[in-house]
């Protein structure tokens, strides 16, 4: 049961400001994932909470108490790194028990704590082994075990499964989530992998250039991205973004892609909703691949387009459609568009369209 609060924290590395005033409140038992590209403050923020890095301004509060002046060891926070950092000459058991050495617990208490953690992580059969005899996944389980054994106030993880291969990552993702549900520990997890973020987080904190871009549940950041950065960072394949212009014709709104003479039809309501929100050509349309609707036959309201590249992914296909000078990626049933070069018909689902101000990148908050 731990609350963590960041109040206007700032951090400079020389001239470079890696954290530009970050405010964040993390509640009891929350699983927070900090997501963003490498080198833009998320790792530094995590390390600052742990006390592995100092901050230049602001407060870090744990359960209401400012801790920015406390040493890492006095904050009662456990940290799991990407590199496993186990002691090679100790057994798994000794590695997990290690953090309890300084706590003056009895042998029986230590034994109970180690076995309990091993049980949760399903590594009991490995307790007598040395780290060199373990697989990558098991090593990381041991590292997590070592972090948990002290029952810390909070668990911080820095890309803990980033070094593992894809299949194992998928498996470990599930384990980490279940572990969190069992332990009910406040957890902050840093990654640049949006799939990890989406599948693990109660709330995702998206950081770029030292600034929090958006905080929200996975549903919120996916369905209502605050700006173009979030829109294109979350989701795979990335959201299509194109600079568009909107015109009125025969009582409907039409959205024109760059260098395209034909537009996509939208309800006329779009015109009034966009009115005054952006100047002239500063409008961007964002549409996820599943929001591009594709038909094989001519249909009312659909534009004829050419399919360029088809990526079959088994459960579905991603098809690149040429519209004017722009490529729109669409998600279709597998095999729906038989071959590249084929002419198909496409439209944009108004309910899934996002509009952004091109200059600021901010969402205009217009949803139909």
Rule CB under 8 A: which residues touch another protein? 37-38, 165-167, 170, 173-174, 177-178, 181, 192-195, 198-199, 218-219, 222-223, 233-238, 288-290, 308-309, 311-316, 318, 320, 331, 334-335, 340
In this complex, which beta carbon is closest to another protein, that of residue 111 or of residue 170?
170
What order do you get walking across the sheet with 16-26 strand by strand?
A: 16-26, 4-13, 57-62, 65-66
Are 110 and 121 a contacting pair, CB within 8 Å?
Answer: no
User: How far does CA 138 lie from the centroid of its chain?
Assistant: 24
- Minimum distance between the CB of residue 246 and another protein, rounded to whole angstroms? 26
- Minimum distance between the CB of residue 290 and another protein, rounded to whole angstroms? 5
In this complex, which beta carbon is closest to another protein, that of residue 222 or of residue 256?
222
Are 334 and 294 a contacting pair, CB within 8 Å?
Answer: no
- Minimum distance between the CB of residue 170 and another protein, rounded to whole angstroms? 7
- Minimum distance between the CB of residue 184 and another protein, rounded to whole angstroms? 14
In this complex, which beta carbon is closest to another protein, that of residue 177 or of residue 245?
177
- Minimum distance between the CB of residue 300 and another protein, rounded to whole angstroms? 26
The two most distant CA atoms of the chain are separated, in Å, by 82
In this complex, which beta carbon is closest to another protein, that of residue 73 or of residue 166?
166
What order do you get walking across the sheet with 186-191 strand by strand?
A: 77-80, 154-158, 186-191, 31-35, 203-208, 211-216
In this complex, which beta carbon is closest to another protein, that of residue 42 or of residue 331?
331
In this complex, which beta carbon is closest to another protein, that of residue 135 or of residue 151?
135
Rounded Cα distance between 1 and 3, Å, is: 7
Please report the DSSP string for 108-142 in residue order. Answer: HHHHHHHHHHHHHTT-GGGTTS-GGGS-HHHHHHH
- Minimum distance between the CB of residue 306 and another protein, rounded to whole angstroms? 14
In this complex, which beta carbon is closest to another protein, that of residue 43 or of residue 75?
43
Rounded Cα distance between 227 and 230, Å, is: 6
Q: In 3D, which of 225, 184, 199 has the Cα closest to residue 362?
A: 225
Query: Beta partners for 31?
Result: 187
- Count CA within 13 A, CB hemisphere, residue 22: 39
In this complex, which beta carbon is closest to another protein, that of residue 122 or of residue 236?
236
- Minimum distance between the CB of residue 328 and another protein, rounded to whole angstroms? 13
Who contacts 171 (Cβ-Cβ below 8 Å, separation ≥6)?
137
Rounded Cα distance between 361 and 3, Å, is: 32
- Minimum distance between the CB of residue 74 and another protein, rounded to whole angstroms? 35
């Amino acid at each position: 049961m731990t609350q963590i609060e960041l109040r206007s924290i700032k951090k400079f590395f020389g001239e470079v400001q890696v954290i530009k005033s970050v405010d964040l409140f993390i509640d009891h038992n929350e699983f927070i994932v900090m997501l963003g590209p490498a080198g833009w403050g998320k790792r530094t923020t995590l390390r600052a909470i742990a006390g592995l890095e100092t901050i230049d301004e602001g407060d870090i509060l744990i359960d209401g108490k400012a801790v920015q002046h406390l040493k890492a060891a006095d904050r009662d926070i456990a940290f799991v790194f990407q590199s496993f950092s186990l002691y090679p000459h100790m057994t798994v058991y000794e590695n997990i028990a290690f953090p309890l050495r300084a706590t003056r617990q009895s042998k029986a208490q230590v034994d109970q704590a180690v076995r309990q953690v091993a049980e949760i992580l399903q590594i009991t059969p490995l307790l007598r082994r040395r780290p060199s005899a373990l697989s990558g996944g098991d090593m990381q389980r041991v590292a997590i075990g070592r972090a948990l054994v002290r029952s810390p106030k909070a668990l911080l993880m820095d890309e803990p499964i980033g070094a593992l291969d894809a299949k194992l990552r998928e498996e470990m993702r599930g384990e980490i989530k279940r572990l969190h549900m069992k332990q009910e520990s406040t957890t902050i997890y840093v990654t640049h992998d949006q799939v990890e973020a989406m599948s693990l987080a109660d709330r995702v904190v998206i950081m770029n250039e030292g600034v929090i871009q958006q905080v929200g549940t996975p549903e919120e950041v996916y369905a209502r991205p605050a700006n173009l950065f979030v829109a294109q960072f979350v989701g795979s394949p990335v959201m299509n973004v194109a600079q568009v212009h909107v015109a009125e014709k025969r009582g409907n709104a039409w959205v024109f892609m760059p260098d395209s003479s034909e537009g996509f039809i939208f309800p006329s309501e779009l015109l009034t909703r966009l009115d005054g929100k952006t100047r002239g050509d500063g409008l961007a349309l964002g549409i996820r691949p599943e929001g591009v609707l594709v038909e094989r036959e001519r249909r009312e309201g659909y534009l004829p387009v050419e399919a360029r590249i088809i990526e079959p992914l088994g459960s579905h296909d991603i098809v690149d459609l040429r519209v004017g000078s722009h490529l729109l990626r669409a998600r279709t049933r597998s095999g729906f568009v038989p071959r590249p070069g084929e002419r198909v018909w496409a439209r944009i689902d108004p309910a899934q369209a996002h509009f952004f101000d091109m200059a600021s990148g901010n969402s205009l908050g217009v949803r139909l």
